[in-house]
Amino acid sequence: MKDLTIQNTLESLLNEPAKKAEKPVSGKSFQDTLKESMEKVNELQKEADEAVKKLATGQGGNIHETMLAIEKADISFRMMMQIRNKIVEAYEEIWRMQT
C-alpha cells in the first residue's frame, strides 16, 4: 500500500509543470550569506586573538575560556575552508560539463 502511495506521489510530481525559480524565503542571496559567514569567522578569529593577548599579559581571562575561543575560531575556519573547497569542486565540475 505504501508503494502505491509513493508511486502515485512521484507520478503527480513528474506530471506537474515545472515551476519558475523563486527567490529564497530569507531574501538573502548566496553571496550575502557567504559574506556574513566569512565575517563571523573573522570575528571569532579576532576574539581568539584577544583572549590569547589577555591571557599572555595577565589581564584576566583563564586558560579554559582562551582555549574555547581558539577552538571555536579553528573549527569555524576549517568549516569555511571545506565549504570553499566544495564550491571550487562544483565550479570545476560545471566547467568540465560545458566543454
Q: What is the pLDDT of residues 8-65, one digit of tens each?
A: 655 555 565 555 455 556 688 888 998 999 999 999 999 999 999 999 998 877 899 9
pLDDT digits (tens, 9 = 90+) for 55-72: 999 887 789 999 999 999
Name the region of 24 (left: φ>0; alpha: ψ -120 to 50; beta: rest). Answer: beta
Report pTM: 0.65
pLDDT at 11: 59
Q: How far is CA 70 from CA 65, 79, 99, in A?
A: 9, 14, 44
Domain boundaries, given as residue ranges, for the chain = 28-98
- State the pLDDT at residue 6: 55
pLDDT of the residue at 30: 86
User: What's the confidence (pLDDT) of residue 13?
Assistant: 55
